[in-house]
Amino acid sequence: MRPVDPPIESVAALAQRLAVLLAAGVAPHTAWTYLDEAGADAAGANGADTAGTAAARGRWHPRRLPLWNGRDDPARVAELNALALRAASRAAARGGNIAEALRDAVTGEASHAAPVTPSGRRAAAAWLALAAAWAVAGEAGAPLAATLRGLAATFRDQARLERDLAAALAGPRATARLVGAMPVIGVLFGALLGFDTVGTLFGTVPGLICLALGGALTLAGAGWSRALVRRAAGAHDDGLMLELTSIAMSGGMSTERARALAEGAARRFMIQNAAGTRAIDGVLALSRRAGVPAVELLRSEATQARLRSRSAGEQRAAGLAVTLMIPLGLCVLPAFMLVGVLPLLIAVLSSTLGTF
């Protein structure tokens, strides 16, 4: 089975295409229209009449189909991208606010849906980051192509981290599935040998105790594993606050106005990055002492923040393959012994003692 790309990968591709179009001199509203039409053509080529294709064709209604269903379904990810592209294209065509249209398309639909997956939330956050950068550039009168390229690189780094985490999880997950199937095999094996393992497991007090303890350990192991994966995914410092401030300053704004604009955009588009705010203070202090423009320093610091975040994520993903063995050894394997082995031993002993 072909691995499914992380949802944020498609947002990275769209951001990169948008950057290329803008750098080539295509007008912003025309660029969004081109991307929207390209998405509609791709959806039509796949032959799927989903909410994504309906959105691309202008027939989508927000209550027709929920966007998220709690799993990383590629069709659902395509719907998110189609909705965002269509909203931006329509806003550009009528001279509206593209950034606000993107935000409303993402957050407005997600608010009516079931809880989303972590990967889905990261894809939605990527669209909000793109919208924030677009809003700041529009208000400051700054070029956006370079920033979009940086955002695309950030999104690709996050997608790479998701792949690393999935690869680290593959081995322990396959082992857990195998061990999880072994109790059933053990019970059936005992039944084939003539022992009443099913009756022992469900019809005796020791069997019910084993079943309860085994189920509790299985649930504990699953929860422990999920917590380890969430911790390994961690917070991703994409340097976005640094980028937003540099965009505002590259448009000719003063330091105070640029910071106020970036912080306002962060609030409007639900971006939280306290580390980025602290980094801005240090960069601006260095710029004042050295008497050099702060724009390039901010961009350099944003790039460095992304590199540090990627390196830390790779280290966490590498360690995850080892740490996931802990719940496997302490929870899953004992659960197998309780459900798959002890009932068989109890049935054997009961049958043996019953012959005397």
DSSP 162-223: HHHHHHHHHHHHHHHHHHHHHHHHHHHHHHHTT--HHHHHHHSHHHHHHHHHHHHHHHHHHH
List the one residue out of 80, 123, 84, 81 whose CA is nearest residue 103: 84
What is the tens place of the pLDDT at every residue in 297-352? 988 888 888 788 778 877 887 788 788 888 888 988 888 888 878 888 887 787 77
- Residue 110's pLDDT band, with cuts at 50, 70 and 90, is very low
Angstrom distances, CA of residue 129 to CA of 120, 126, 187, 312: 14, 5, 53, 21
Q: Which of 62-66, 104-108, 264-268 has the lowest mean pLDDT?
A: 62-66
Only one residue has tokens 């202090």, namely: 285
Mean pLDDT across 172-177: 71
Residues 262 and 258: their CA atoms lie apart, in Å, by 6
221-224 LR contacts (CB < 8 Å, sep 24+): 221/176, 221/327, 221/328, 221/330, 221/331, 221/332, 221/335, 224/326, 224/327, 224/331
Mean pLDDT across 136-162: 84
Q: Can you give the pTM of this predicted structure?
A: 0.71
Widest pairwise Cα distance in the chain: 96
pLDDT surpasses 90 at 20: yes
Residues 98 and 91: their CA atoms lie apart, in Å, by 5
What is the tens place of the pLDDT at every residue in 45-94? 454 444 444 433 433 333 333 333 344 456 666 777 888 899 999 998 88
Non-local CB neighbours of 35 within 8 Å, separated by 6+ positions: 14, 17, 18, 21, 85, 89
Mean pLDDT over all residues of the chain?
A: 78
List the one residue out of 262, 264, 267 whose CA is nearest residue 245: 262
Are 216 and 331 a contacting pair, CB within 8 Å?
Answer: no
For residue 108, which amino acid is it?
A: G
Domain-wise residue ranges, the chain: 7-140, 146-356
Q: How many CA atoms lie within 13 A of 115 on its CB side?
A: 2
pLDDT of residue 213: 92
pLDDT of residue 53: 41
Rg (CA), the chain: 27
pLDDT of residue 17: 94
Cβ burial, residue 177 (10 Å; 0-12/13-18/19+): exposed
What is the tens place of the pLDDT at every residue in 268-301? 888 776 566 778 888 888 888 888 888 889 888 8
